[in-house]
Amino acid sequence: MSLVPTTGELGPVVVIGAGLIGASIGMALTAAGERVHLVDASNVHAVVASGLGAGLIDFPQTETIRLVVVATPPSAVVQEVLEALELSPQAVVTDVSSVKGRVLDKLRATGADISRYVGSHPMAGSQFAGPLTASGELFVDRTWVVCPRLDNAPEHVERVRQLARTCGARLVEMEAADHDEAVARVSHVPQLMSSLTAGNLRDVPDRHLQLAGQGVRDVTRIAASDPVLWRQIIQANSSAIRLELEGIRRDLDELFVVLDDPTGLEGFMARGREGARTLPGKHGSIPVEWEAVVIEIPDTPGALAHLFADIGSEGVNVEDLSIEHGSTREVGYLSVQVSPSQAKHLREVMVEKGWRLRVV
Amino acid sequence: MSLVPTTGELGPVVVIGAGLIGASIGMALTAAGERVHLVDASNVHAVVASGLGAGLIDFPQTETIRLVVVATPPSAVVQEVLEALELSPQAVVTDVSSVKGRVLDKLRATGADISRYVGSHPMAGSQFAGPLTASGELFVDRTWVVCPRLDNAPEHVERVRQLARTCGARLVEMEAADHDEAVARVSHVPQLMSSLTAGNLRDVPDRHLQLAGQGVRDVTRIAASDPVLWRQIIQANSSAIRLELEGIRRDLDELFVVLDDPTGLEGFMARGREGARTLPGKHGSIPVEWEAVVIEIPDTPGALAHLFADIGSEGVNVEDLSIEHGSTREVGYLSVQVSPSQAKHLREVMVEKGWRLRVV
C-alpha cells in the first residue's frame, strides 16, 4: 500500500486492465501529474505498462481512490465495475468499452447502487492489444464519448469529463442507447462489411490475389482485427446492428436487380459516393469550405506551365485543382480551390498578370 | 503532320485519351525518349497533358505508327480500337480498360482482323480523372496485366510488354477471362461492398457521424470514386461479379443466423481475418518471413526499458513486437521479429548481455 499524496486533481486513479487502452490512459494521466495505479490479471502486462510509465503496480488505500477506469475486455467489464463500486466508496467508476447500453442494463439488473458509475468510450485503438504499443498521445484529438445519466451526481460526471480532457480527447456526450445506435452505424456494421468482404478472399488463388491493389486493402484492413474482441463488441450491440444489416441486405438485393441496368447501377454507385461524402473531415473536424478561382486556359502549349508558375509565385495554398470545360469543348478552365481569405487576392493578381477569369 | 524520326524503340506511339492514365503513359514514354502523340476528344485535356510533358498534340503519318494505346473511358474503347487498327496498318493496338473479356468479345463480333490487338490493364488510378494529376511515375512497381492470345504474333505481344516495362510496371500475363475473374474478386466486388456500406451512411444524422473513426473511412474510401466510370466497369464484368456477389449474399445470410451465437460469430470474424491476411504485401511483393527472437522479461519495473535499450543498441531492424505468456501468468516473454539474417547475431548478443532466451 502506498500513501504518497496525489499531485493531480483526478487521482488517485486505478486503471484495471493494462492493455493498449488502459496503459495509454495511465501514461497520459501520469504525464499530467496524476497518480495512477495499475491492475491486470496478467502480471506481465502490468509490469510492461508500468515500465512504459503508465503507473505504479502497487494498490492505494481503497478509501482514497477517486476514479477507477475499467479497461478490461468487454466480457469482464460488468463484474469489474461492480467490484470497484463496492471496494472504493469514494470513487467514480467508468469503463471504456465500445457498447454502453448492455453494460448499463446488466449493472441495473443486479439491483446495486450504480449512481457513481458513468460509462464512457474513448474511440481509439483496440482494447485487446497488449500495452507494448500504448502511448500517452493515443487519445489526443480523438473522440471520447461520455454517457451521463439523471441518477449521476454532476460532480461525478465532471470527473469523467476531466479524465477525457486530461487525455487530450474531444469530448462528446450522448445517452447510452444513442451512442450504441451511432457506433452500430459508423463502426460495427462497417467492421462486419469488411469481414464479409475479406472472408470472400479466402478461396481466391494466388495468381488472382497478385492483382490486388490499394482499394481492397483499404476495404479489408479492419477485418484483420481480433475476432475474440469483435465477437464481444458485436454481440453486445446485436439489436442495433441487426436493424442496420437489414438495410444492407435490402440494398444488396437491389444491387442484384440493377447489376445489368446502367441507370440503376449508376444510381447505386452514386448513393455510395454520397454516403462516403457525408463523413466529416478527419478526426471529426468540420470540413473547411474552399472557394474556387476559375481561370481560362489559353489554347497554347506551355500556357499551363506559366499559369501554374503565376499561381505558385503568389504563395497561396492550392487545396484542389480541376479542369472545367466551357460551353464548347475548345475552351477550358482551371478551377483552383483556395481558402476564402486568399481567393480575392488571387483573383486580383491573376487579372493583373493578364489571365482571364470566369465568374463562378 | 510531323516527320521527326523516333528516338526510342517503341514509337511513334499514339495515345488516345489524355486522362490520368493516358497522360501518365505519355509522360513515362516521353521521359524514356519515345515519341508520343496525344489525341483527346477534349482539346483542353490534350493541351494540358502536352503541357505536362505527355507528348505532342500533332498527329504522325499513320503508316509510321508502331503502337496505339487506347486510354478512353471504357464505353468508347471498342470503337477506338477498331478505328486504330484500320487507320494504322503497322501498329499494335492495346487498350488500358479494366475488363478485358467483353472488349474482346465485342471486337471479335465485328468480324474484323484483330490479330494486332493485344489487351492490357495497368492497375493504377482511375481512367476518368483528368490529366492534372498525371505522373510519369504512376505505374512504377504497379501491376500491368497483358493478355496475349494465340492469334497474336509474338513480336506484337512483345511490343505491349515493352510498353509496360518502359512505364516501370510489374508485368503479369493472363488470359482475358482469367483476368476478369481476378478483378471481379479483388477489385470490383470490394468496390461494390464499399459503395454498399457507404450508401447506408446517407441517412445517418450528424451527431452519429461525429463518432466515425478511421475504420469506416478506410472501408468507404473507394466508394467516393466516379459512379459513371464504375458503372461502366461493373457492367462490363457483371457475369463474374454476380457469381462472387452470390457468395457474399450467402455469407451475409449466415451472419444474420450467427449474430447472437458467440462461436458462430467468432468464426465469421476469424474467416474475415484469414481473408485479410491472404493479401500479399504492398504492391504485390512477396511478404518477407521474419524470425522471432524470444527474450524473457524479468519481473521488475524498468527491466523492459533496459531490454529495449539493449536491442536498440544492436542496430537491428525490429519488424514487430509482441508479449507472450509462459505456462504460468507470472512469466512473460518479449517476442522480437527480425530478419533471419539478423536473428542469430541478436540472440548471441542478448545472451552475452545476460538476458535469458526462450527456444522458439
Three cell numbers at B343? 536473428
* Superfamily of domain covering B13-174: NAD(P)-binding Rossmann-like Domain (3.40.50.720)
Chain A residues near residue B323 by CB distance under 8 angstroms: 44-45, 48, 130-132
Question: Can you point out the beta strands (E) in A179-261?
Answer: none
> CATH classification of B179-283, choosing from 3.30.930.10, 3.30.300.30, 1.10.3660.10, 1.10.8.60?
1.10.3660.10
pLDDT of B1 above 50 = no
pLDDT of A138 above 60 = yes
Please state, as a whole number, how many other Cβ atoms lie within 10 Å of the Cβ of residue A14: 26
Is the distance from CB of A36 to CB of A56 less than 8 angstroms?
Answer: yes
> What residues have CB less than 8 Å from A288, skipping those under 6 apart?
A281, A339
B224 CB within 8 Å of a chain A CB: yes
Tens digit of each residue's pLDDT (9 = 90 or more) over A15-66: 999 988 999 999 999 999 999 999 998 888 888 889 889 999 988 999 999 9
Scanning B151-210 for CB atoms below 8 A from A yields 172, 174, 178-179, 181-183, 185-187, 189-202, 204, 206-210
d(CA A350, CA A348): 6
d(CA A216, CA B191): 8
A281 CB within 8 Å of a chain B CB: no
Question: Residue for cell digits 513515362?
Answer: B28
* Winning range, highest mean pLDDT, from A7-11, A275-279, B251-255: B251-255
Backbone angles phi, psi at B114, to 5 degrees: -110, 25
Cis peptide before A340 (omega within 30 of 0): no
Q: Quick one: fold of B291-358?
A: Alpha-Beta Plaits (3.30.70)
The average pLDDT across B55-80 equals 94
Question: How many alpha carbons lie under 13 Å from residue A281 in its C-beta half-sphere?
Answer: 6
Edge-to-edge order in the sheet of strand A320-325: A320-325, A332-338, A291-297, A357-358
Q: Is the ipTM of this complex over 0.95?
A: no
The average pLDDT across A182-193 equals 97
> CATH classification of A179-282, choosing from 3.90.226.10, 3.40.1360.10, 1.10.3660.10, 3.40.605.10?
1.10.3660.10
Spans of all domains in chain B: 13-174, 179-283, 291-358
CA distances from B26 to B52, B165, B172 (A): 10, 14, 21
pLDDT of A117 above 80 = yes
B238 CB within 8 Å of a chain A CB: yes
Would you say the C-alpha torsion A271, A275, A276, A278 has a positive or negative sign?
positive
Which of A193, A222, A329 is facing B193, going by the closest CB pair? A193
Chain B residues near residue A330 by CB distance under 8 angstroms: 43-44
Residue A125 per-residue DSSP state: S
